[in-house]
Amino acid sequence: MNFKAVRVTAVFAGLLAIVGGVPAQAHHSFTSTYDVNQVMTIQGTVLQFLFRNPHSFVHMMAADKSGKMNVWAVEWAGGAALGGAAVTHTTLRPGDKIIVTGNPARDMSLHRLRMRAIVRPSDGWKWEGTFG
């Protein structure tokens, strides 16, 4: 089997999923997991950038509302979808200082956000939007 051809086809299909407006998500209902009526902003340091499918995750150290430092998991679009927005696995690196805005998880003890916007002040890089 020509794995390279399969991979190229798979990535291409994934990109088409975004360009064509077909939702790339299927994993879970965002409305069930996050409070989409609330928005919060956290500021901190990248620990890890999981560039993957079905959803990428940015793990960062940031303070919660009470000021206590926690590891936050910020859910983002899948790797194929981000590729269409010129985001790659090297776009974010451990140590980057970032500001993230998103919908908080319904269960606040989990310290999760659904990404709505991200800014890296050091060079002004940013991304903003919604993803399926």
Partner 1 sequence: MKRIRTALTLSCLVSLIVTNTAAFAQVDLTGSWTPRNSTDAQEDNPGPEPLPVDYAGIPLSDAGRAYGLLSSPDKMSEPERLCGFYSPVYTMLGPFGLAIGRVAEPLTGTTVAWTIGGWEDLAPITIWMDGRPHPSEYGPHEMSGFWTGTWEDDVLATTTTHMRASILRRNTAAHSDQATMRQWFLRHDDELTVQARIDDPNYLAEPFYITRTYSLDHKAPNILVGQPCIQGDEGVPESDVPHNMPGKNPDVPELTEQYGIPREAVLGGPETMYPDFRKKIASQYVRPEKCPRVCGGPGTYPRPEGTR
14 lies in the binding site for partner 1 (CB under 8 A): yes
Shortest separation between residue 54's beta carbon and partner 1, angstroms = 6
Q: Which one of the spans 38-46, 54-62, 96-104, 116-124 is the region binding partner 1 (CB under 8 A)?
A: 54-62
Residues 72, 92, 14: CA angle, nearest 5 degrees: 95
Give yes or no for a contact between 38 and 64, defined as CB atoms under 8 angstroms apart: no
Selected from 55, 77, 102, 116, the binder of partner 1 by CB under 8 A is: 55
- Spell out the SS3 assignment of 75-124: ECCCHHHHHHCCCCCCCCCCCCEEEEEEEEECCHHHCEEEEEEEEECCCC
8 lies in the binding site for partner 1 (CB under 8 A): no
Selected from 44, 78, 102, 104, the binder of partner 1 by CB under 8 A is: 78
69 lies in the binding site for partner 1 (CB under 8 A): no
* DSSP designation for 36: T
87 lies in the binding site for partner 1 (CB under 8 A): no
CA-to-CA distance for 63 and 11, rounded, in angstroms?
36
22 lies in the binding site for partner 1 (CB under 8 A): yes
State both tokens at 25.
């998500």
Q: Footprint of partner 1 on this chain (CB under 8 A)?
A: 9-11, 13-14, 16-17, 20-33, 36-37, 48, 50, 52-55, 57, 59, 72-73, 75, 78-80, 105-107, 110-112, 132
